[in-house]
Amino acid sequence: MRPSLLAAVVAAAFLAGCGGGGGSAPVPGGGGSSGTTTQSSLSSTDVAQTSTDAAFEPMDTGEADAGVGNGILGASSSSRSAQALPHACKNRTTRTVTVNADGSITVETIHYYDDACTQVERDGVAIFKSSGGTATVARTITTFNQAHLQLGVRKSNYALTGASNNGSWVLTSAFFVGTSTTPITQYGHAASLSASAYSANTGRIANDAKPSINASYGRQSTANASVSTDSSNNTTFSGTRNGIAFKAALNGLTISSVPPFIVSGGTQIGTTSLTGSVTFDSDGELSAVALNGTLLGGNMLVVTSSTDANGIVTVNGTITSSTGASVATFTTDASGNGILTLANGTQVPIVDWHVVW
């Protein structure tokens, strides 16, 4: 699917589904969830939501982690001093760097729909500060369609210690649909890197107040991978990611405020296991993905990417039952904007790696 057509489909599906709103923000808490739901009692929405949560997490958190070392957060790859090199339009991306009066650094990385860099798809602004060996980053990513309608906003905060090739960081993030001021998803993510050995834990909850869903979904995962960076500053994560999925009544899940990010409340509805790799270029854009996994109830996941002659990346995913029957498919661009198609033909927009029911 060409990027312009994909964007048009996303916009149409998004506008059709804007009647539903997000739930309230989670309250930090501790503890754990108990109980297990069988596959036969899971709805198609349960399966699609938990499957895409698992499928998108390596791209979602991976892009955030890659930014620690590749300069898009205003930190260098060796010591987190200012080193995000600005550039004009290149591969549908521009980057500007501003050193502020208080010593902080603002890096704006914009991804565009077109080669001339005139139609903004994704505008990322990171403000980097460093004091006493600890760095902080406040980052906002705004996603637009080709008519410049705001599809969603992601707001993230990092705390980083050590060097980016031998250190650790904690990230908290919230995603807001359209112009809403209430997040539909939030997650906490803690990662560390020593030489090329990477490990992380993530806790995530999504509240969807749309009447046909009216539920909260959660995910708790651990990842172990090797990390490599090539001469072009492309970063690849290769390894495993295992997770637990939860469901509760709307606003019934909470997530702890500090690592490890524990999801509490509701019922455990299954587990997931993924293996594979994701690669991000020097501007933080996904350039390749190859994932395979086992999902709830024995469902299977395959995610691949392709790159056309103009360098445009398309991500395709298939979710099948344990018997091979189609459950859902999805197609996105490198920024995580696309369409989820259920087996019954229902199409749901995906914005910045979030399914927007």
Beta strand 197-208 with 286-294 is unpaired
Beta bridge partners of 136: 129, 159
* Number of residues assigned to the chain: 357
Position 75 scores a pLDDT of 60
Position 282 scores a pLDDT of 83
Beta strand 105-112 with 134-144 is unpaired
CA 222 to chain centre: 15
Q: Which positions ≥6 away from 138 have C-beta within 8 Å?
A: 126, 127, 155, 156, 157, 158
Q: Does this model's pTM top 0.85?
A: yes
First-to-final CA distance of the chain: 21
Q: Where are the beta strands (DSSP E) in 60-117?
A: 87-90, 93-99, 105-112
Position 295 scores a pLDDT of 97
CB atoms inside a 10 Å sphere around CB 205: 31
CA-CA distance, 35 to 256, in Å (whole number)?
20
Q: What are the pLDDT tens digits along the chain (357 aa)?
A: 344 445 544 444 444 444 333 333 333 333 444 444 444 578 888 999 999 999 999 999 999 998 887 667 766 444 333 345 789 999 899 999 999 999 999 999 999 999 999 999 999 999 999 888 789 999 999 999 999 999 999 999 999 998 777 889 999 999 999 999 999 999 999 999 988 899 999 999 999 998 989 999 999 999 999 999 888 888 999 999 999 999 999 999 999 999 999 999 999 999 999 999 999 998 889 999 999 999 999 999 999 999 999 899 999 999 999 999 999 999 999 999 999 999 999 999 999 999 999
Position 84 scores a pLDDT of 57
Residue corresponding to tokens 């406040």: 138
User: Which helix (H) or strand (E) segment is 300 a member of?
Assistant: strand 300-307
Nearest to 340 by CA among 5, 10, 12, 3: 10
Residue 268 identity (one-letter amino acid): Q
Residue corresponding to tokens 């490198």: 334
CB atoms inside a 10 Å sphere around CB 32: 12
